[in-house]
Structure 1
């Protein structure tokens, strides 16, 4: 059977936009990214003396194998597969541009990316976990001493890839619920995201735990943002409250999301 025999005609009223909610989501994402930049001010890389004292045996057994990996080629390939997952979002969302509210999918994806990247960067700047290649003898000293070598946890590539894959597959399923292409989108996009994560491991950029957490956080964001915008008959089902807080020592933002 030809999967493309039926034209892709998107459903109407799949997502419900609310100006206040959209502004809050965008503002929260921008604030998270801004906070990451502020936290990262003044952070420095490892010194040569610190690198010389590193011991792979200090890494937990589950992650330790990553310290034997170093591959610039795999790192470059991971950038390409990452772009591939982003490209899937564009391809699956393209038919929705025919609608009156053509900006809905781009807006939801922008929110997803801002929230994902903001979360990733804040945690990276706080955790300051060394990348696996820092323990590898063949890796150049200049790269080991670079500030980015201390930003392993958790994986931005895995987060963005899985956020894009789950977002594209979820949105495609909502707009085209009877399409026979849904399994193709899910398998293809998640396959690209998984390949990206494996390449980051092979490159010596991340430990398995970095990749697993990145995949979980990205998948959650890719699923939550579209779901948050799904209408529910007879009820304002989806709501979000964002409240700043402080305890005199630390500051933060409390986010409460109500789902059906």
Structure 2
């Protein structure tokens, strides 16, 4: 009888005193390796980008919008420095979105774990972007604008159209936040509002980057897809296989055993 009472008491205390468990788990060896690889890839990509040569005058003078694929041709020659600066507003804002999620609700009790996952997501996106931008030479739409000074059109930064790093990073941040929030709250109502908000911010960045002449539409779409994939898949890969099942050892002078709990 006493043993049964003890089990019921432990069950009651567990329900009321434990924080909501995280749906994720961290393997420090694997996660440290992943994060290190992401940071190393990012550093390598930046080195390649910094060593890029300016575009030759001959190449600039021979640019022809007709050589741009038809689905991107309409934006060749776009240039607006004001929109370029404005695009930084939603871009930098997106990085704060996951922190708004981390420090609220049940997620607040797992800040360390979620921070590691967030850094992994960002480093993965950064590595893929920098290496792509460094190893390819797709010329930005603004370089097709004949009203710009030749020196401005020849800058090496104009070889980094493929793909949009701003959009990729922004999508990583917002979709990571949406994924974490909905994983911690699977019964949340109106989840579509969360995902819609996550989708709008990087989409806004993308529109502004195209209109500013930084990227073609295809660069933005690819960046969006790559960033969203990283923001969603990194948390998904960390999800526990049996997150609802837990075992707790019970030690007492009168009773010893294992307490099994299942949350639903």
Q: What band does the TM-score fall into relative to the shorter chain?
A: 0.7 to 0.9
- 1:40 corresponds to: 49
RMSD, matched Cα: 2.0
The aligned counterpart of 2:229 is 220
Deviations along 1:201-252, whole A, 9 cap, x unmatched?
Answer: 1011101111111111111111110011100029xxxxxxxxxxxxxxxxxx
1:98 and 2:108 aligned: yes
Q: Where does residue 179 of structure 1 map in the other structure?
A: 188
- For residues 192-203 of structure 1, the aligned pairs below 5 Å read 192-203=201-212
Task: State the shift of 1:11 in Å.
Answer: 3.5
- CA 1:87–1:233 in structure 2 vs 1: closer, same or farther (change >3 Å)? same
Alignment correspondent of 1:127: 136
How far 1:181 moved relative to its partner?
5.8
Question: 1:145 and 2:164 equivalent?
Answer: no
Distance in 1 (alpha carbons) for counterparts of 2:54 and 2:156: 4
Gaps of 5+ in 1: 1-9, 235-260
Deviation of residue 142 (structure 1)?
3.5
In structure 2, the CA distance between the partners of 1:41 and 1:198, relative to structure 1 (3 Å rule), is: closer
TM-score, normalised relative to structure 2? 0.79
Query: 1:141-185 CA deviation, whole Å, 9 max, x = no partner?
Result: 343222111000011011111111211110110112223363332
Q: 1:117 aligns with which of 126, 129, 147?
A: 126
Q: Which has the higher helix share?
A: 2
Alpha-carbon distance in structure 1 between the residues aligned to 2:29 and 2:217: 39
- 1:1-260 equivalences under 5 Å are 11-40=20-49, 42-95=51-104, 96=106, 98-99=108-109, 101-180=110-189, 182-233=191-242
Q: Which has the larger radius of gyration?
A: 2
Q: 1:11 to 1:202 in 2, by over 3 A?
A: farther
Counterpart position of 2:3: none
Structure 2 Cα separation of the partners of residues 68 and 109 of structure 1: 36
- State TM-score, norm by structure 1: 0.81
Range moving further from structure 2, 116-125 or 23-32: 23-32
Which runs of no fewer than 5 residues in structure 2 stay unpaired?
A: 1-18, 244-264
Q: Secondary structure at the match of 2:115?
A: helix
Offset of residue 33 of structure 1? 1.1
Of 160-169 and 180-189, deviating more is 180-189
Report the number of matched residues. Answer: 225
Q: CA deviation at 1:83?
A: 1.5
Alignment check: 8 A CA contact 1:11 1:176 kept: no
Tell me if structure 2 keeps the 8 A contact 1:132–1:207.
yes
